[in-house]
Structure 1
Amino acid sequence: MTSVGKDVAMASRNDSTTIATMSWRSCFRNDLFRGKIALVTGGGSGIGFAIATELASLGATVVIASRKKAKCESAAQTVNALGYSGRIVVGPSTNIRSEDDIRNLVEHIIKTYGALNLLVNNSGGQFIQESAEISRKGFSAVVETNLRGTFLVCREAYNQYMRDHGGSIVNITIGNRNGMPGMMHSAASRAGVENMTASLCQEWIESRVRINCVRPGIIFTESGFENYGPAGDYFLEKIVKSLPARRLGSAEEVSSAVVWLLSEGASYVTGSVVCVDGGGSFVALPLVDIEDAANLPVYGNLSPKAKL
């Protein structure tokens, strides 16, 4: 890892070991979700782990699920050892690209715990690659995971429980309103999630279901950046200097926004997108190297002052 990458990693480090040993405490009251049943997909690591941890600290029974059940079991053991008023439990191994897996997961939760009050769609995936190099299969895999998978979890939660009992849903998206060069496939699918959320919030409001999005900026987690290898180092080198906050975000900063949207304090909020990005939405992401030459033909007369 480069020197910049190391500095950012040390400043923003956020893995399960760190959370378990540091004196972190939610800013919300500790009985906020007492008696509530929550599902956090992808809750075994990264942002999902931080969200599941905070919900458990506030009294909820939190079901976490992903394809890697062993990782979820380790996360649950780590958090439950802290003695929170809530707890983390592990659902069946679930691939959110599988309709059957999702249906079985929601059925399991309702049968076992009797409710599904809160849902956080955190599972997703992407890889760094120039758009011209992305294969049809690679593009489809990301869209099926991030967009279709999120829809299927929302649909099953609504049809199996929330239609009749109400509930609150938060979808985790990523991206920048200026685009995400290098991860176009992910940005496109997450933009779809945000528009889907805007539609669902209107369809489901009569069932007392609120549904919102949290759009994180560049959040550093060990489990996230280690998957990118050298590309992750390049990403860090390019991005940090452009962010108005001059640092990456923490998973707990995302979790706080999620908790607020799930709570009764946001009872008049639905269909919204809350950005947790240190102002990153207002700057272009400098991930594309552009040569010092004119890239578009000129129409009309261009002053020499307008050229680089």
Structure 2
Amino acid sequence: MTYQSIFAPGLFDGQAIIVTGGGSGIGRCTAHELARLGAHVVLVGRKADKLQAVQGEIEADGDRASWHACDIRAEDAVAQMVQQVLAARGRIDALVNNAGGQFMAPLESISAKGWEAVVHTNLTGGFLLARECYRRWMGAHGGSIVNIVADMWGSMPGMGHSGAARAGMVSLTETAAVEWAHSGVRVNAVAPGYIASSGMDNYPPEAAATLRAMPRTVPLGRFGNEAEVSAAIVFLLSPAASFISGSTLRVDGARPQVRMGWPMQPPDDAARERAAVKPFGGFHRAQVPRVFAAQDGKGAQ
């Protein structure tokens, strides 16, 4: 099997696209879809073994990828990596700023070091990648950038450091869209809601019950999956989005619109099967997070 993208084959033929955090989760899925659509995908992350594994998957499917281990929080390392990509590929047509990470903690327990680590990963690193891609290629040739943020609309209790960083990335997206438009560069963001991906495996065991209960707070009554986020990213990178810049596309099943006083009415089984809301499962190598794998066979659906 290969990736079952809804987009046209060859959509990104001849393009080189960087995907940070490409060794797992949404980044891995997006890398597979972009490669299936003709791009040479450059996987970037801190763990070489994960990047090599995803490169192997993509090549086994008949597509093209390479990888560069890089700590995106380190300015010199980012500059060197971007230069290496240009030396090898000759171009950088698009950047998917997906790398990120956080830990669960109330604000009063977060140290300055912990705060800075999350902000540097989720905001500063994305800024450095975007700036270097713009300076070294896109400023003269154009391109597209998609920054991955999160469902932090209103608040993000228990992960206030991540919420602050993601809100900053939305503002950065809007500013870059204005400043770089004259060069033919579009900058947008995608905000995933509750997505069943390998990132959930990084939370402590005591979070399992909370994770399993999360779909009950989503009007569409389920988790999203990686392929549904990847499709939003691919759309924003595609020519179909040529007049979209400075926007944030939410992929969250309307969860932020939930209000007290309006009863939750999740779709019943028949409604779940209707084409408009039925899960899109295009990723042929998708893996159910371990926290759901032992459930009743339905996983995160």
* TM-score normalised by length of structure 2: 0.84
CA contact (8 A) 1:177 1:281 kept: yes
Structure 1 residue 24, shift from structure 2 partner: 4.2
Structure 1 residue 98, shift from structure 2 partner: 0.5
CA contact (8 A) 1:176 1:280 kept: no
Structure 1 residue 284, shift from structure 2 partner: 6.7
Structure 1 residue 133, shift from structure 2 partner: 1.2
Distance in 2 of aligned mates of 1:237 and 1:31: 38
Residue 245, structure 1, aligned to residue 245, structure 2: no
Which moves more between the two structures, 236-245 or 191-200?
A: 236-245
Q: What per-residue deviation string (whole Å, max 9, x for no partner) do you get for residues 143-194 of structure 1?
A: 1111111100000000000000000000000123121111111011000000
Aligned equivalent of 1:279: 254
Distance in 2 of aligned mates of 1:89 and 1:121: 17
- AA paired with 2:145? I
- AA paired with 2:47? K
Distance in 1 of aligned mates of 2:48 and 2:217: 37
What secondary structure is seen at the aligned counterpart in 2 of 1:35? coil
* TM-score normalised by length of structure 1: 0.82
Structure 1 residue 70, shift from structure 2 partner: 1.1
- AA paired with 2:29? A
What secondary structure is seen at the aligned counterpart in 2 of 1:50? helix
Distance in 1 of aligned mates of 2:259 and 2:14: 43
Residue 263, structure 1, aligned to residue 266, structure 2: no
What secondary structure is seen at the aligned counterpart in 1 of 2:196? coil
Distance in 1 of aligned mates of 2:21 and 2:28: 8
- AA paired with 1:226? D
Residue 202, structure 1, aligned to residue 178, structure 2: yes
Aligned equivalent of 2:74: 98
Select the residue among 169, 175, 181 that pairs with 1:193.
Answer: 169
CA contact (8 A) 1:178 1:283 kept: no
Distance in 1 of aligned mates of 2:119 and 2:259: 23
Distance in 2 of aligned mates of 1:215 and 1:255: 11
CA contact (8 A) 1:102 1:156 kept: yes
Aligned equivalent of 1:65: 44
CA contact (8 A) 1:150 1:171 kept: yes
Aligned equivalent of 1:77: 56
Aligned equivalent of 2:65: 88
What secondary structure is seen at the aligned counterpart in 2 of 1:226? helix
- AA paired with 1:279? A
- AA paired with 2:51? C
| Runs of 5+ unmatched residues, structure 2 | 261-301
What secondary structure is seen at the aligned counterpart in 1 of 2:195? coil
Between the two proteins, the alignment pairs up a number of residues equal to: 260
Q: CA RMSD in A?
A: 1.4
- AA paired with 2:233? V
Q: What per-residue deviation string (whole Å, max 9, x for no partner) do you get for residues 38-78 of structure 1?
A: 00001011000011000000000000011101110011101
Aligned equivalent of 2:4: 25
Residue 38, structure 1, aligned to residue 17, structure 2: yes
| Runs of 5+ unmatched residues, structure 1 | 1-20, 286-308
Distance in 1 of aligned mates of 2:3 and 2:222: 20
- AA paired with 1:89? S
Distance in 2 of aligned mates of 1:176 and 1:74: 31
CA contact (8 A) 1:121 1:172 kept: yes
- AA paired with 2:134? Y
Select the residue among 128, 132, 143 that pairs with 1:156.
Answer: 132
CA contact (8 A) 2:3 2:32 kept: no
